[in-house]
Amino acid sequence: MRAMVLEQPGTPLKLVERPDPQPADGEVRVRVAACGVCRTDVHVVDGELPNPKLPIVPGHEIVGYVETVGNGVDALAAGMRVGIPWLGHTCGHCPYCREGRENLCDHPLFTGYTRDGGFATHTVADGRYVFRLPQSGEDVATAPLLCAGLIGWRSLRMAGEGKKIGLFGFGAAAHIVTQVALWQGREVFAFTRPGDAAAQAFARKLGAHWASSSEEKPPEPLDCAIIYAPVGALVPAALSAVRKGGRVVCAGIHMSDIPSFPYRLLWEERELLSVANLTRKDGDEFFTVARQAGIVTETVTYPLSRANDALADLRMGRLQGAAVLVP
Ligand SMILES: [Zn+2]
Ligand SMILES: [Zn+2]
């Protein structure tokens, strides 16, 4: 197999050849057809998340085909088309797992962070954390659903039922969530980096009601907002954009520090919360919603060997939609 490997945070990924991985009991080997590049991969490579497994193969938006099935995996068979998400393993017995909140498990493994992921021609996954996908479908277009879509869905659900919803940071997740929110009959207000006319045009093209700089106030108070950009200054901005009783959801795994802000921005029962990881139930729900809502992803593809370019483009905000690696 070939893989793009991170040896030390803050250094470029290196293309390496390795023997094909063999699935242990309970695991499957998957031939990767496409792997999306997520903001979290940038955080891993840049050393912004603590204690990655090193060396690590990043990538947790994997679409591929099962090649080999380890002992004890009954639900999967060779040839099946599958998706592998960020949540790679949970312990099953901590208090969080027992109460159905496996996204908060005390002893988890995460694909592309604490176990090897999909920036590769092949990968091995715990068979219980693999989603079956329809046997036919566009592999590249499906890859971003595995994290941008799933975390987007979880964050949208946690934002509540509000009709007017603000999205701060208009990248891969927001471009999927916009389509779901419109399908649900909501109005989308898109906030981008100041001066990013291309992202604002992209948001309008997808049906956003309004799109402007995150330094602007929306034309009317919003019911809720989700922050996808890893920028702490957006927290007070989003709080000041929502109405009394409105809710702000931070959807990223990492954010720069939140500047201090006056209590009146939180006052009047505004709520601020974060979304962590996903559960397998989120996946089952979201893949149904994605089909019903007719989600169409916008992707920019890169060959596997150009993973560093994809990460750089994402880091600099140089692409619309989602970056996807193809082995
Ligand atoms: Zn657990
Ligand atoms: Zn992700």
pLDDT per residue as tens digits for the range 146-158: 999 999 999 999 9
Among 156, 148, 102, 151, residue whose Cα is nearest residue 129: 102
User: Is 19 inside a domain boundary?
Assistant: yes
- Please report, for the domain that includes residue 322, its CATH number: 3.90.180.10
Ligand 1 mean position to 272 CA, how many Å?
A: 25
Q: How far is Cα 127 from Cα 131, in angstroms, rounded to an integer?
A: 9
Ligand 2 mean position to 60 CA, how many Å?
A: 6
What is the residue-averaged pLDDT of the chain?
97
pLDDT per residue as tens digits for the range 88-127: 999 999 999 999 999 999 999 999 999 999 999 999 999 9
User: Is 256 inside a domain boundary?
Assistant: yes
**What are 227's strand-pairing partners?**
168, 250
Q: What is the CA radius of gyration of the chain?
A: 19
Ligand 2 mean position to 118 CA, how many Å?
A: 12
126 shares its domain with 245: no
103 shares its domain with 42: yes
245 shares its domain with 268: yes
Ligand 1 mean position to 90 CA, how many Å?
A: 5
Structure tokens at 220: 């009317």
Task: Give me the pLDDT at residue 274, please.
Answer: 98
178 touches 188 (CB < 8 A): yes
Task: Give me the pLDDT at residue 315, please.
Answer: 95
Q: Closest ligand to 95 CA?
A: 1
Confidence (pTM): 0.96
244 shares its domain with 158: yes
170 shares its domain with 123: no
127 shares its domain with 179: no
182 shares its domain with 195: yes
Residues with CB under 5 A from ligand 2 (ion): 38, 40, 147
Q: Closest ligand to 87 CA?
A: 2
User: Is 56 inside a domain boundary?
Assistant: yes
213 shares its domain with 104: no
67 shares its domain with 112: yes
Mean pLDDT throughout 56-73?
Answer: 98
Burial class (CB in 10 A: 0-12, 13-18, 19+), 157: middle
Among 88, 93, 122, residue whose Cα is nearest residue 106: 93
Number of domains present in the structure of the chain: 2
Length of the chain: 327
Mean pLDDT throughout 131-141?
Answer: 95
**Which residues, 6 or more positions from 230, have their beta carbon under 8 angstroms from its beta carbon?**
39, 43, 169, 252, 254, 255, 256
Domain that holds residue 174: 149-274
Q: What is Dmax (Cα atoms) for the chain?
A: 59
Task: Give me the pLDDT at residue 222, please.
Answer: 98
pLDDT per residue as tens digits for the range 163-221: 999 999 999 999 999 999 999 999 999 999 999 999 999 999 999 999 999 999 999 99
